[in-house]
Amino acid sequence: MSEPQIIKLTERRPEVAPEDLIDGFVPPPHFSDVSFDSYRPDPQQPSQSEARDKLRDFTQQRRETGFLSKLFGSKPKAGKGIYLDGGYGVGKTHLLAAAWHAHEKPATFGTFVEYTNLIGALGFQRARDELSKMKLVCIDEFELDDPGDTVMMSRLMRELTDAGVKIVATSNTLPGALGQGRFAAQDFLREIQALSAQFAVLTIDGEDYRHRGSPTPPEPVDSAGLDDYAAGTSATTVARDDFDEVLDHLSSVHPSRYSRMLEGIDMALWDDVHTIDSESVALRFVALVDRMYDRGISIHNSGQRLDAVFTDDMVSGGYRKKYLRCLSRLTALASGTEK
């Protein structure tokens, strides 16, 4: 067994040209070959198979662009979106990626944050024009963190559906409840209601499959234990970093580049993991873990156990669902149950 290449994540500073961003809006490697047939619904949760079947039907619909629809000026019915609502680990992202694979192209796939980053890089008009060319837009982890996002995404979804673009989104929050606990949602109720009107909701019940038999991350090891992981792995490339240095590095790399920063890495080893006490730092860390989960990068660490990285106030606060999803994914990556 050849020794892996040991690199430092903190030495990577990827550059991505704005015009290349949209080319990267495809399912990540973790979901590169999923399908509706490979989705395994829990027989005890009929909503899972129902959501799969309805979403499969949705992807098979075609826009009405024939002579009669043009003559009578009717808008395409396919513009109505599907919103997959459910808890963590019930297979929403699997189904979203399956929809992307099954649907006619062009189509895009990305997280909510990646779409807002795209708008920031290209400007609203250009981003809207590029996305309006799509037959399907898939948005994972749909959540609104501030009033500006509420207005911007409401407008974008409205203009895309008016253009006949089909939209599928996933979230842990019903459309009408987006933003609750985060900001004065009542002040933006009209925008939130307009956003909610773009979707038909499919609720998926069930438990987090990532935690079946593995409710907590493994216990941390010492520095020598991390050396053993690096020496004994079959991984090609291992990133080993001090945890504090990783957190500092994230502040100097735009989140839209985190995925590119992780390219080729199979395993991450973190020295001296500890509780993060700054919410802005914690949210950047959440974005990193999301991209690590996309790529199935295994994690081993010294210091504190990974489920102690966020404070109790964070986990019970306005970003609670982000942190709980992150903890779920950290457990999966550290336990080898992310598949």
What SS3 state is found at 136? strand
Supply angle C-alpha 91, 92, 94, rounded to 5.
65
Q: Per residue in 74-130, pLDDT tens?
A: 444 444 688 888 876 788 999 999 999 999 999 999 988 788 878 887 889 999 999
Q: Give the span between the Cα atoms of 251 and 265, in whole angstroms.
A: 20
Same domain for 92 and 159, yes or no, is yes
Q: Which residues contact 33 (CB under 8 A, 6 or more apart)?
A: none
Task: Report pLDDT for 187.
Answer: 45
Residue numbers of the chain with a pLDDT score lower than 70: 1, 62-80, 88, 144-147, 150, 172-196, 208-215, 337-339
Task: Report pLDDT for 324.
Answer: 86
Sheet-wide strand order for 166-171? 107-111, 136-140, 166-171, 81-86, 199-204
Task: Report pLDDT for 75.
Answer: 44
Same domain for 150 and 182, yes or no, is yes
* CATH at 266: 3.40.50
Task: Report pLDDT for 172.
Answer: 64
- Residue 23 maps to a domain: no
- The residue from 172, 206, 240 where one domain ends is 206
Task: Report pLDDT for 73.
Answer: 45
- Give 222's strand partners: none
Write phi, then psi, for 300 (nearest 5 degrees).
-135, 150
Task: Report pLDDT for 337.
Answer: 61
Same domain for 52 and 186, yes or no, is yes
pTM above 0.85, yes or no: no
Residue 205 CA, chain-centre distance (Å), reads 19
Q: What single string gives the DSSP state of each residue in 143-160?
A: ---SHHHHHHHHHHHHHH
Q: Could you list the residue range(s) of the whole structural domain that residue 97 is in? A: 43-206
Task: Report pLDDT for 2.
Answer: 72
What's the structural domain count of the chain? 2
Q: Per residue in 59-71, pLDDT tens?
A: 987 654 443 344 3
- Residue 37 maps to a domain: no
DSSP label of 76: P
Same domain for 303 and 177, yes or no, is no
Same domain for 233 and 109, yes or no, is no
Q: Are 110 and 256 in contact (CB under 8 A)?
A: no
Same domain for 180 and 53, yes or no, is yes
Q: Name residue 233's amino acid.
A: T
Same domain for 191 and 65, yes or no, is yes
Task: Report pLDDT for 74.
Answer: 45
